[in-house]
Amino acid sequence: MFAPLDHITWMRRAIVEADLARGRTGDNPWVGCVVVDEAGVLLGQGHTQGPGEDHAEMAAFRQADQRGLSLAGATLYSTLEPCSFHGRTPACSRVIVDRKIRRVITGMRDPNPPRLPSPRARHPPARGLGLDAPVTLALPRATVPLEEK
């Protein structure tokens, strides 16, 4: 178990998870996700699957569901800002709100313009959804595992 607010440690774990998707996602980016409860307990983790299959967030949610764990009030760490449009799969940002995730920490904002508007614009905390404003975490270069196997 990691400290509940140890963002760098949890994001490193999401990066390691993303590396599992390397070369297996077709035209989707390699993304990793971990979901942690308020006490710092890992609820689920996952990475992007092939085209039309689960994004990292959904894979992490499925793992938590299989373990019978609630995601309400949890913090989600994703290496890339969750998508906010329905393409081959439903919008991850909508599911994040529906699952009552409290905080979203991302490694980087989605640079792909078709993915806009972002979850920040579509689901602002001011709408009374109970979601804290998403935070993009700037990691020191030394924390990113490059070829760690």
DSSP string, 13-76: HHHHHHHTTTT-STTS---EEEEE-TTS-EEEEEE--STTS--HHHHHHHHHHHTT---TT-EE
Q: Are 106 and 137 in contact (CB under 8 A)?
A: yes
- The answer to whether 147 is a known catalytic residue is no
Determine which one of 38, 53, 57, 147 is catalytic. 57
Residue bearing tokens 């996952």:
46
Packing angle, helices 7-19 and 56-66, rounded to 10: 100
Please name which of 82, 74, 119 lies closest in space to residue 99, comparing C-alpha atoms. 74
Q: What angle do CA 54, 56, 57 make, to 5 degrees?
A: 95
Active site amino acids: 57
